[in-house]
Amino acid sequence: MANHKSSEKRAKQDIKKSAVNKTNESKAKTAIKKVRDAITAGDKKTAATLLTSAQAELRKLAKTGVIKTNTAARKTSRLASQVNKI
């Protein structure tokens, strides 16, 4: 356990920040699943609109350091290519 006041504060901040990161990561995963569902249904218009929201969520994760920038770019690229194949 934390022995100093500053380390106690840091421990509290870490708990709060990890909860925020987990929530944002969950939102991104849900957005990706919705895009994939639209792709399997063959609905290009819906998939394209859902793709923009998924891209925004992935960029947000990359900007805050939850995932790496290249990971976000790779996932975005693969989703976009799947939508374009419809």
Mean pLDDT, rounded, for 72-76:
96
- Specify whether the CB–CB gap between 57 and 39 falls below 8 A: no
What are the pLDDT digits (tens) for 52-65? Answer: 999 999 999 999 99
Confidence grade of residue 16 (pLDDT, cut at 50, 70, 90): very high
Helix or strand holding residue 64 (H, E): helix 44-64
Q: What CATH class has 23-85?
A: mainly alpha
pLDDT for 2 beyond 80: no
- Separation of alpha carbons 16 and 43, rounded Å: 38
Confidence grade of residue 1 (pLDDT, cut at 50, 70, 90): confident
Cα separations in angstroms, 82 against 13, 16, 38, 73, 77: 39, 36, 11, 14, 9
Confidence grade of residue 13 (pLDDT, cut at 50, 70, 90): very high
